[in-house]
Each structure stands twice: as structure tokens, then as C-alpha cells.
């Protein structure tokens, strides 16, 4: 039979150093994941603006607004809605919706049946 080989046991200090290094690597990994997947407040602002834009478009399709310019203010900016006949056709509406978030302005033009 062969000789039994004994493995030298680690000291308590080596075990503590290894656990601290493992904890440090784990903490850095978790922090990186949290930063990569977190929702910033800008994202929530844009989601709110998009929701209000869709609501405004829905109201345009259901004839809530009359012809002319309508300005709706929010804490994140505002929406400007301009309703007018499309190329002088009374049965077709052109809805121009400008969404302003901070300094950014996006303009959407929709052609709707009256």
C-alpha cells in the first residue's frame, strides 16, 4: 500500500484573508450590477412625458379639444397641441403635438379623421 499524504491545514489568518478577498470581489460585482440596471430619474421623467403624450393623442382622436393651440404644463415640461384642418379639408384633422422635456423638444404630427 501507498503512503498517505497529509494536506497542511490553513491557518486562521489565511482563511480570514481569503474570505475578505471573496467578500470584496462579491461586493464589487453586486455594485456593478446595481449601477448597470438601476432606473435613473430621467427615465421616469421620459416615461411620464410619453404617457401624457399618448393621453393627449387619445383625447385628440376622441375630439376632446377644439381647433387651435392648447398648452398643457407639467413639472417636467409641457405639451403644446395644435389642431387645424389638414390642407383645408374640414373632415381631416392635423394634430401637431410638441413635447418639451427640459430643453429637449420632440414634435409629432398626426393626421386624424374628424
Number of H helices, E strands in the chain: 2, 4
**Domain spans, the chain:** 41-113
For the chain, what is the radius of gyration of the CA atoms? 31
99 pLDDT exceeds 90?
A: yes
How buried is residue 57: exposed, middle or buried, by Cβ count under 10 Å (0-12/13-18/19+)? Answer: middle
Spatial strand order of the sheet with 104-113 comes to: 68-74, 77-86, 89-101, 104-113
Q: Encode pLDDT of 44-89 as tens digits.
A: 888 889 999 999 889 888 888 888 999 999 888 999 999 998 887 8
pLDDT number for residue 89: 82
Facing residues of 69 across strands?
A: 82
Q: Encode pLDDT of 30-45 as tens digits.
A: 888 887 776 566 778 8
| Owner of C-alpha cell 383625447 | 59
Q: What is the mean pLDDT of residues 3-21?
A: 78
Amino acid at each position: 500500500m501507498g503512503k498517505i499524504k497529509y494536506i497542511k491545514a490553513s491557518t486562521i489568518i489565511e482563511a480570514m484573508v481569503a474570505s475578505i478577498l471573496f467578500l470584496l470581489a462579491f461586493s464589487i460585482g453586486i455594485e456593478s450590477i446595481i449601477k448597470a440596471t438601476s432606473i435613473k430619474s430621467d427615465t421616469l421623467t421620459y416615461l411620464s412625458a410619453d404617457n401624457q403624450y399618448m393621453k393627449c393623442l387619445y383625447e385628440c382622436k376622441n375630439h376632446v379639444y377644439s381647433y387651435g393651440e392648447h398648452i398643457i404644463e407639467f413639472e417636467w415640461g409641457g405639451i403644446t397641441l395644435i389642431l387645424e384642418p389638414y390642407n383645408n379639408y374640414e373632415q381631416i384633422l392635423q394634430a401637431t403635438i410638441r413635447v418639451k422635456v427640459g430643453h429637449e423638444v420632440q414634435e409629432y404630427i398626426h393626421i386624424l379623421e374628424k
